[in-house]
Amino acid sequence: MALLRALLLALVVPIVRVKAYDNGLAITPQMGWNTWNHFGCDISESTILNAAKAMIAKNLTSLGYEYVIMDDCWHAPARDAATGAPVADPQKFPNGIKALSDEIHALGLKFGIYSDAGRYTCGGRFGSLDHEDIDAKTYAEWGVDYLTLEYDNCFNEGRAGTPKLSFDRYAKMSDALNATRRPILYSLCNWGEDGPWNFASTIANSWRISGDIMDTFDRFDDRCPCTSVIDCKLPGFQCAMARIIDFAAPVGQKAHAGAWNDLDMLEVGNGGMTHDEYVTHFTFWSILKSPLILGNDVTNMSADTLEIITNKAIIDINQDSAGSPANRRWKRSVQGGGDLSLWSGSLVNNRFIIALLNTSPSQQTVDVDFTDVFVDQGKVYQHQAYSISDLWQKDASGNWGKPLGTFQGSLKKVVIG
C-alpha cells in the first residue's frame, strides 16, 4: 500500500528563473490518449474513433487532452513495393489513415502516429530506420498538420552505445519531420539509452527515460533490471510505476518548456493498482512534468478513474507555464522495506508544490521542514508563511484544492498511508 499527499503552497515573492529552451511546440507537456496500454496490437479505425469521441463526451478535451495517438500494429505487412512508402493495414483501416486523421481533426482533436527508429517496430512491423524521409513525407501527406510521433527503439541495428550514435539516429527523423514544413510534436523513445536528457532537447519535444511501464505499484521485475536510468544498458520493460518515479528523480533537472522527460503512458484505470496508487501515479506524472497520455479504455471508465484523470488542480500543475519539474528533497529508507520521500517544486506566481511518497507497506508520520522544501529558494523563503491547500480534496465550491490554513517553518505530523 502507498499513499501520497499533494499540497500547494502559495505566497507572493518572485520565483527563481528557469533556464529554458523553446522550439515552439509542447510548451507545456503534451496531453492525450494512446492505444497501446489497453489495446496493444488489437486496434482499428473504430477503436481510435470511439476513443476520440469518448474523450469529447467525457469532457477530457476541455481539460487539455487533445492528442489521439495510434500506437504500433497499424501497418500492412509491407511497405509499398514501388515507392517504399508506409502502408496501413487495409483490414484494420479500410478507409486509410488519411480518412481517420481527417475525422479526428473534424472532432477538434489532433492525430498522432507510432513508428520505430529500427528495422522493425517492437510489434514486428516495418520500422523507419533508413526510411525517415519517405515516412515523414507520407505522414504529412496523410493530411495531418499536427502530428505526434512516438518514435521507438526496437531492432535498432546496434546504432546506440554513445550519445552521438543515438543522437544521429533520432536526429534523422527530426530533420525529416522538419523538412515536411508541418509543425510536428516529436516524442522520442529510446528508453533512456545514452541519456536523451542530455542529447535530445534540441531535436525532440519529449523523450522516454526508462523501459515500458507495468501496471503495478512497486514490484521489482527482472525485465526492468537497472536500479537507475543513468547509463542503464538494459532498460527492458515491466517497470513498476513507483520505480519510474525513482528513476525520474535525477533527470527532472533536464526538462524545460518544449523538452520533457516522458515517464511513459498512464496506467490509471487499467486495473493493476489501487485507487490510492493511481492517485500517486497521476500526481507524480503531473508534478514531474511528464506528458499525460491516457492509456486506459476511455470508452469504459469507472467514476474513480474519471475523477483521477480530471483533477484540474493536478493537471494545472503539469501545465504550469514555469515548466519546472518537482525535485526530490530527501529519500529515507523505512524499516520493513520501502522508502519515504519528499518532493517539492515551484510554479509561476509564487506558488509551490509539496508531495510525499511512501512505498513502504505501513503508514508513516513525518514532519515536513520548509528548509527542505525551499532548499533551492534559500533562507528568506524557508522562513515565510504559506497558505496551503490539499489538491486531492475539494474546497467548499467543489473545486479541487481544499485550503488547510497558513503554515510557517514546517508541516507537523503529516500522515501518509
Residues with catalytic annotation? Answer: 152, 212
**Smallest gap from residue 367 Cβ to a second copy (A):** 18
Q: Is the Cβ–Cβ distance between 107 and 56 less than 8 Å?
A: yes
Query: What CA–CA distances, in Å, run from 256 to 50, 166, 177?
Result: 33, 21, 22
**Cell of residue 16, nine digits:** 527563481
Taking the alpha carbons at both ends of the chain, their separation in whole angstroms is 7
C-alpha cell at 218: 512497486
Q: Least distance (Å) from a second copy to the CB of residue 351?
A: 21
Q: Which stretch binds a second copy (CB under 8 A): 26-34, 79-87, 143-151, 228-236?
A: 228-236
One character per residue 12-41, x = contact with a second copy (rule: CB under 8 A): -----x-xxxx-----------------xx
Cβ burial 87-102 (10 Å sphere, 16+ → b, else e): bbbeebbeeebbebbb
User: Cβ–Cβ contacts within 10 Å for residue 208, how many?
Assistant: 30
**Residue 162 sits in the site that holds a second copy (CB under 8 A):** yes
Quick one: which of 98, 103, 92, 106 has its CA closest to 139?
A: 98
Among residues 219, 275, 394, 402, the one that binds a second copy under rule CB under 8 A: 219
Of the ranges 55-63, 153-161, 278-286, 394-402, which one interacts with a second copy (CB under 8 A)? 153-161
Closer Cβ to a second copy, 328 or 351, answer by number? 328
Applying CB under 8 A, which of residues 226, 244, 273, 340 lies at the interface with a second copy? 226
What lies within 8 Å, CB to CB, of 151 at 6+ separation is 114, 115, 116, 117, 128, 170, 173, 186, 187, 188, 189, 204
246 vs 262, beta carbon nearer a second copy: 246
Question: Least distance from C-beta 7 to a second copy, angstroms?
Answer: 20
Joined grid coordinates for residue 36: 497501446
Q: Is 195 in the site for a second copy (CB under 8 A)?
A: yes
Query: How many Å apart are CA 77 and CA 58, to the nearest integer?
Result: 35
Among 143, 163, 403, 409, binds a second copy (CB under 8 A): 163
Question: Residue 23 CB, nearest distance to a second copy (Å)?
Answer: 10
**Residue from 14, 24, 77, 158 binding a second copy (CB under 8 A):** 158
Report if residue 2 touches a second copy, rule: CB under 8 A. Answer: no
User: At its nearest, how many Å lie between a second copy and the CB of residue 170?
Assistant: 9
**Of 247 and 400, which CB lies nearer to a second copy in the complex structure?**
247
Q: In angstroms, rounded to a whole number, what is the distance separating the alpha carbons of residues 114 and 92?
A: 15
